[in-house]
Chain A
Amino acid sequence: AQKVTQAQTEISVVEKEDVTLDCVYETRDTTYYLFWYKQPPSGELVFLIRRNSFDEQNEISGRYSWNFQKSTSSFNFTITASQVVDSAVYFCALSERNRGSTLGRLYFGRGTQLTVWP
């Protein structure tokens, strides 16, 4: 079973629109970490945010914001006033803290391709 589900395969918006990328995760651990990465056309993954399971405060960084809700096992990512440079594939990932030999690995969702049109 997928530990991280990104149901939106592709999203297209026009510049200046707001867009939300969904992420739903599954874990039995009480301590875990959630991540978002951006993959521009160049291919290298760029780290955006890390959140631990005990911190449910939403976070805002410029035009980016993240909504973490343990009750629904979701960690959604919103881009406000999108720009063409936001076009990329965005990955949500989960790291489980208490998993013995698999400690430290990331489980990635399949990614959401965001295209922002001028």
Chain B
Amino acid sequence: DGGITQSPKYLFRKEGQNVTLSCEQNLNHDAMYWYRQDPGQGLRLIYYSQIVNDFQKGDIAEGYSVSREKKESFPLTVTSAQKNPTAFYLCASSLGTSGSWNEQFFGPGTRLTVL
């Protein structure tokens, strides 16, 4: 089945540690995105990538880093510089930004808790 997978579903981290969240898609989509969701805040864009080996900062990129070495993978690293990392993280993908339609498909999310 085609779709987006995120792992793990729940992640616990000690303060001061870096952690990497996985996102894989087999939809052959060019574009991938990372969002952070906090209660009452909606979804806020962290980083996005329109093509392999290229990515752009979103609205809240500080304390995060990404890579896009393969089309199907877009891992997100939450670094110790992120002051308040406890949140629900959602990965998404779409066909490509050059298309007329920009429907994004979402993964199941990873809930990160910093202890």
Q: What residues make up the interface of A, taking CB atoms closer than 8 Å to B? A: 9, 33, 35, 37, 42-47, 50, 52, 91, 95, 101-106, 108-111
Interface size on B, residues (CB 8 A): 31
Q: What residues make up the interface of B, taking CB atoms closer than 8 Å to A? A: 31, 33, 35, 40-45, 48, 50, 56, 58, 88, 90, 92, 94, 96-98, 100-109, 111
A95 to chain B, nearest CB (A): 5
B111 to chain A, nearest CB (A): 8
A101 to chain B, nearest CB (A): 6
* Contact status B48-A43, CB under 8 Å: no
Chain A residues within 8 Å of B104, by CB? 47, 106
Main secondary structure, interface of A, reads mixed
Chain A residues within 8 Å of B105, by CB? 47
Chain A residues within 8 Å of B88, by CB? 43
Cβ contact of A43, chosen from B31, B44, B101, B109, cutoff 8 A:
B109
* Contact status B50-A104, CB under 8 Å: yes
* Contact status A108-B107, CB under 8 Å: no
* Contact status A103-B97, CB under 8 Å: yes
- Nearest chain B residue, comparing its CB with the CB of A10: B40
Q: Report the separation of the CA atoms of residues A14 and B40 in the bound assembly, to the nearest whole angstrom.
A: 23
Chain A residues within 8 Å of B107, by CB? 44
